[in-house]
Chains A and B, each alone.
Chain A
Amino acid sequence: MISRVPFYTIVVLFILAGLGLAIARHAQMEIPFLPGAERPVWLVEARIDFNAKNEPVLVSMDLPDSPPGFRLFTEQAASPGYGFSVIRHDGNRRGEWSIRRAVGPQTLYYKAQFLQASDIEELPEQTPPEAQTIDWDGPQGTAATQLLAQAQQRSSTPQSLTRELIKLLNQPEPGQNAALLLQGHTEADLLVKLLNQAGLPARESQGLYLEDARRRQSLSSFVEVYADNRWLVFDPKTGEQGLPDNVLMWHKKGVSLLDVNGGSGSNVSFSIIRQTVPALQLARAQAEEHGFGQFSIYQLPIEEQSMFKLLLLLPIGAAAVVFMRIIVGVKTSGTFMPVLIAVAFLQTSLLPGIVSFITVVALGLLLRGYLSRLNLLLVARIATLVILVVFIIAIMSIVGYQLGFNTGMTITFFPMIIMAWTIERMSILWEEDGPKEVLKQGGGSLLVAILAFLAMESKLVSHLTFNFPELHFVLLAMILLMGQYKGYKLTELKRFKAMVDRA
């Protein structure tokens, strides 16, 4: 007796490899296990309004660039007549609209979908930024120095200094110095200047509060201080540290949010909607970013992908045949003929498929009855049958089309050669074993084909086979196990029933 250990080791390895890979890909690429799974995304629409001055227009807006906590999923611009492109410059993304000539009020739209993803963090700066030198005019300089001194006294770290400054600026009755400085400055602006003066690199950035179904929103200002080798975010109104989860960082100061050449009175406003998109679509869009993605079927051209979709279903059909023959014990005509018929059913849909299959085989058997009298060589006879099958299918298509069944056309998906062989085999079977055996094997083939079809047509199955091809390892392990099955077939329970009764 050969040792079974290597065999079962391989089977277990296949199962583990298949499931492990599938789970890893599910975790890393976020491919959903169920078809139709959906993920929430935020659709943000930026609306730019301005008046064109009847001259060439160039509008440039800063676009979010890997904002922390979010992943850009799709983006598009809708603006009739304008050319649009996304330009990268110095690590900054800007959307540019251009038109040769425009007059009057103009509206441009930029839409983007963002997926909330907690694992996305801002990349650390490669070279640590340096604090800018600040020039104040006249009395403001003194006020700034005094205010800073006041805050520095009550703090020890960059964080606490920032918080103290925010507190001083936001007092219900700000002190003299604060009041003076706040003239001609926003809080955020002033804070950035003060921090820089204190030798701390700081900048202002603008983010969008994401709330469902909001219109005409504008960006809120945040102050970022560079400390401990990263940018820390503060709300200049409340002094709260850290970026709220529902804030999408849109724009970083240093560059302008919006430039309009050839227009005036420009304004940006934002609308926000919470949407759901198929999780699968998200996963595909992200496939390129991951290591696993490089080996994914998603990388192939769409045409090849749809071919693979069918190819990857074949093992399911094959497994159905193995199960029906080994475990159940159904007799079929031609081992894997039912799988090919099932694939044809996928194109024709089930009922028209069955009807046309039976019609083609029945007509073929009639014609084959005459052929047997001609005493042809086997190869020539099969070739004749192939041609006859083509004719039968052509005639059925035409008649079906004239009668208004468009299913007539789809029967061309039947594999002609296989049909010819089926007819030949059944004809021989009829002569040798009688019509009963023909019905038994033909019915068995059809039954297995229908079951294989139902398995292959299932949304879940086609989703899993295509998106998790590694699950075929599990299927392979199952087939290997069935290949070792020594128990009784279901039909044998009936075949040997009388013997047990007699005993």
Chain B
Amino acid sequence: MKWASPFALKRAGILGMNRRNVAYIGQYNKRSLYPLVDNKLKTKLLAEKHQVTVPRLLGVVQQQHEIEHVAELVTNFASFAIKPAKGSGGKGILVITGRDGDDFVKASGSVISQEDVKRHMTNILAGLYSLGGKPDVAIIEELIEFDDRFDGFSFQGVPDIRIIIFQGYPVMAMLRCATRASDGKANLHQGAVGVGLDIATGRCLNAVQFGEVVSQHPDTGKALNQITIPYWTEMLELASTCYDMTSLGYIGTDLVLDKNKGPLLLELNARPGLSIQVANGCGLLPRLKHIEKMKKRHHSPAERVAYAKAAFGQPLAGNTASE
């Protein structure tokens, strides 16, 4: 049998795309607030105001003619990331990890010329990666120096942590590890490995690639079930703060752990994907309904995180990744 019955999915508490759109995104995310998360530049400025740590902004390119000066802009930085401010799904993110003379080295190791970088920026400005093809701006960010403890968990790129925040409560989390198949990107549908994380401890629950359970990273061979995220509580609180920052009821927060700065907020997503359920081997619906049924909500992020840890943490016995 290749198809699951819809009743079985319902019993497993799996949130489907339609229900997510109608009952959660449509109901809890006010349309007028979308620009705060759809525009990474706005998110960054807002985060700084709320003392949420973010990667340092190196520069913004808003006009076509400014692209000519990019070379000067980035001379002082060996590594950086160029992102479209209104990009979605990780599209249009160019990660430069080093220099090769005048050329640039991409995260994948391939070398691209200055012209290629300029063309990429031109595309960003023209709106190729933005929703609806609207003109966009390119932001240049400091590249995260990711924590040594994640060495081997990701093939190039940065392993990032996606936490779903519902009404300010962290409900589910996963670590996304780039693979050779995903070209250094952390999107599950492109072949990145998703590692479900226990809300209480930040410990690995389950790891999947292309929907199949894996126990090792496909490129580095590192055992994935040994992962425990450091600074877990800080991360959850950082993510939870994003609710107060944006007032959006249902968001995906993407965090990274920087070697020097600790947890950083990379970006927010008002339409977080559903793969996180596959990575956790667990449906979102029971947890979302749990929050919806709560009569009294907690005010501070710290209280909300403590509550979520108690409510959604999984006992060790339920660890399925060790199978």
* Chain A neighbourhood of B278, CB < 8 A: 495-496, 498-499
* Chain A neighbourhood of B122, CB < 8 A: 375, 377-378
Q: How far is the CB of A100 from chain B (nearest CB, A)?
A: 73
B contact face: mostly helix, strand, loop, or mixed: helix
- Given A375-B119, A377-B122, A495-B211, A484 and B281 contact (CB-CB distance below 8 Å): no
Instruction: For the complex, give the distance between the alpha carbons of A376 and B157 in Å.
Output: 28
Instruction: For the complex, give the distance between the alpha carbons of A1 and B22 in Å.
Output: 12
* Chain B neighbourhood of A495, CB < 8 A: 211, 278
Instruction: For the complex, give the distance between the alpha carbons of A502 and B282 in Å.
Output: 10
* Chain A neighbourhood of B283, CB < 8 A: 499
A477-503 contacts to B, CB under 8 A, are: 483-490, 492-503
Interface centre among A428, A490, A492, A494 (most CB of B within 10 A): A492
Interface centre among A375, A496, A497, A500 (most CB of B within 10 A): A496
Instruction: For the complex, give the distance between the alpha carbons of A484 and B21 in Å.
Output: 9
CB closest residue in chain A, given B123: A378
Taking the complex as formed, is B319 at the interface, i.e. its CB lies under 8 A from any CB of chain A? Answer: no
Q: Is the CB of A497 within 8 A of B3?
A: yes
Q: How far is the CB of B22 from chain A (nearest CB, A)?
A: 5
Q: Is the CB of B320 within 8 A of A496?
A: no
Cβ-defined partner of A496 (8 Å) among B2, B4, B212: B4
* Chain A neighbourhood of B2, CB < 8 A: 494, 497
Q: How far is the CB of B225 from chain A (nearest CB, A)?
A: 15
Mask: chain B, 1-28; 1 = CB below 8 Å from A; 0 = not: 0111110111010101111001100010
Q: How far is the CB of A278 from chain B (nearest CB, A)?
A: 43
Instruction: For the complex, give the distance between the alpha carbons of A487 and B18 in Å.
Output: 6
Q: Is the CB of A489 within 8 A of B3?
A: no
Taking the complex as formed, is B229 at the interface, i.e. its CB lies under 8 A from any CB of chain A? Answer: no
Taking the complex as formed, is B29 at the interface, i.e. its CB lies under 8 A from any CB of chain A? Answer: no
Cβ-defined partner of A500 (8 Å) among B8, B91, B119, B126: B8
- Given A484-B22, A493-B6, A499 and B14 contact (CB-CB distance below 8 Å): yes
Taking the complex as formed, is B102 at the interface, i.e. its CB lies under 8 A from any CB of chain A? Answer: no
Q: Is the CB of B17 within 8 A of A428?
A: no
Q: Is the CB of B281 within 8 A of A499?
A: yes
Instruction: For the complex, give the distance between the alpha carbons of A490 and B8 in Å.
Output: 13
Taking the complex as formed, is B170 at the interface, i.e. its CB lies under 8 A from any CB of chain A? Answer: no
Interface size on A, residues (CB 8 A): 30
Taking the complex as formed, is B216 at the interface, i.e. its CB lies under 8 A from any CB of chain A? Answer: no
* Chain A neighbourhood of B23, CB < 8 A: 486
Q: Is the CB of A493 within 8 A of B14?
A: no
Q: Is the CB of B126 within 8 A of A379?
A: yes
Mask: chain A, 456-477; 1 = CB below 8 Å from B; 0 = not: 0000000000000000000000
Cβ-defined partner of B5 (8 Å) among A486, A487, A493, A503: A493
Interface centre among B126, B127, B190 (most CB of A within 10 A): B126
- Given A375-B115, A486-B19, A502-B320, A496 and B6 contact (CB-CB distance below 8 Å): no
* Chain B neighbourhood of A489, CB < 8 A: 16-18
Taking the complex as formed, is B64 at the interface, i.e. its CB lies under 8 A from any CB of chain A? Answer: yes
| Inter-chain contact total with CB atoms closer than 8 Å | 88
A contact face: mostly helix, strand, loop, or mixed: helix
CB closest residue in chain A, given B64: A377
B242-289 contacts to A, CB under 8 A, are: 277-278, 281-283
Taking the complex as formed, is A433 at the interface, i.e. its CB lies under 8 A from any CB of chain B? Answer: yes
Instruction: For the complex, give the distance between the alpha carbons of A375 and B128 in Å.
Output: 13
Mask: chain A, 426-464; 1 = CB below 8 Å from B; 0 = not: 001000110000000000000000000000000000000
Q: How far is the CB of A490 from chain B (nearest CB, A)?
A: 8
Cβ-defined partner of A502 (8 Å) among B9, B17, B18, B281: B281
- Given A428-B128, A486-B19, A489-B17, A494 and B4 contact (CB-CB distance below 8 Å): yes
Taking the complex as formed, is A41 at the interface, i.e. its CB lies under 8 A from any CB of chain B? Answer: no
- Given A329-B17, A486-B22, A493-B4, A378 and B9 contact (CB-CB distance below 8 Å): no
Taking the complex as formed, is A324 at the interface, i.e. its CB lies under 8 A from any CB of chain B? Answer: no
Taking the complex as formed, is B47 at the interface, i.e. its CB lies under 8 A from any CB of chain A? Answer: no
Q: Is the CB of B91 within 8 A of A432?
A: yes
Taking the complex as formed, is A165 at the interface, i.e. its CB lies under 8 A from any CB of chain B? Answer: no
Taking the complex as formed, is A326 at the interface, i.e. its CB lies under 8 A from any CB of chain B? Answer: yes
Q: Is the CB of A486 within 8 A of B12?
A: no
Q: How far is the CB of A440 from chain B (nearest CB, A)?
A: 10
* Chain A neighbourhood of B9, CB < 8 A: 488, 492-493, 496, 500
* Chain B neighbourhood of A484, CB < 8 A: 22
Q: Is the CB of B128 within 8 A of A326?
A: no
Taking the complex as formed, is B213 at the interface, i.e. its CB lies under 8 A from any CB of chain A? Answer: yes
* Chain A neighbourhood of B5, CB < 8 A: 493
Taking the complex as formed, is B180 at the interface, i.e. its CB lies under 8 A from any CB of chain A? Answer: no
Q: How far is the CB of B155 from chain A (nearest CB, A)?
A: 16
Instruction: For the complex, give the distance between the alpha carbons of A489 and B281 in Å.
Output: 19
* Chain B neighbourhood of A483, CB < 8 A: 22
* Chain B neighbourhood of A486, CB < 8 A: 16, 18-19, 22-23
Interface centre among B4, B12, B23, B128 (most CB of A within 10 A): B4
* Chain A neighbourhood of B212, CB < 8 A: 498
Mask: chain A, 329-357; 1 = CB below 8 Å from B; 0 = not: 10000000000000000000000000000
Taking the complex as formed, is B99 at the interface, i.e. its CB lies under 8 A from any CB of chain A? Answer: no
* Chain A neighbourhood of B127, CB < 8 A: 378
Taking the complex as formed, is B118 at the interface, i.e. its CB lies under 8 A from any CB of chain A? Answer: yes
Q: How far is the CB of B284 from chain A (nearest CB, A)?
A: 11
Interface CB pairs A-B, < 8 A, 9: A377-B126, A484-B22, A485-B22, A486-B18, A488-B16, A492-B17, A497-B4, A500-B8, A503-B12
Supplied contacts A488-B16, A499-B282, 19 more A-B pairs, CB within 8 Å: A377-B122, A378-B122, A428-B128, A432-B91, A483-B22, A486-B23, A487-B18, A488-B10, A488-B18, A489-B18, A492-B14, A493-B9, A495-B211, A496-B4, A496-B277, A497-B4, A499-B12, A499-B278, A500-B14
Binding site for A on B (CB under 8 A): 2-6, 8-10, 12, 14, 16-19, 22-23, 27, 64, 91, 115, 118-119, 122-123, 126-128, 133, 190, 211-213, 277-278, 281-283, 320
User: Closest 6 A-B residue pairs measured CB to CB?
Assistant: A378-B126, A488-B16, A486-B19, A375-B119, A497-B4, A493-B3
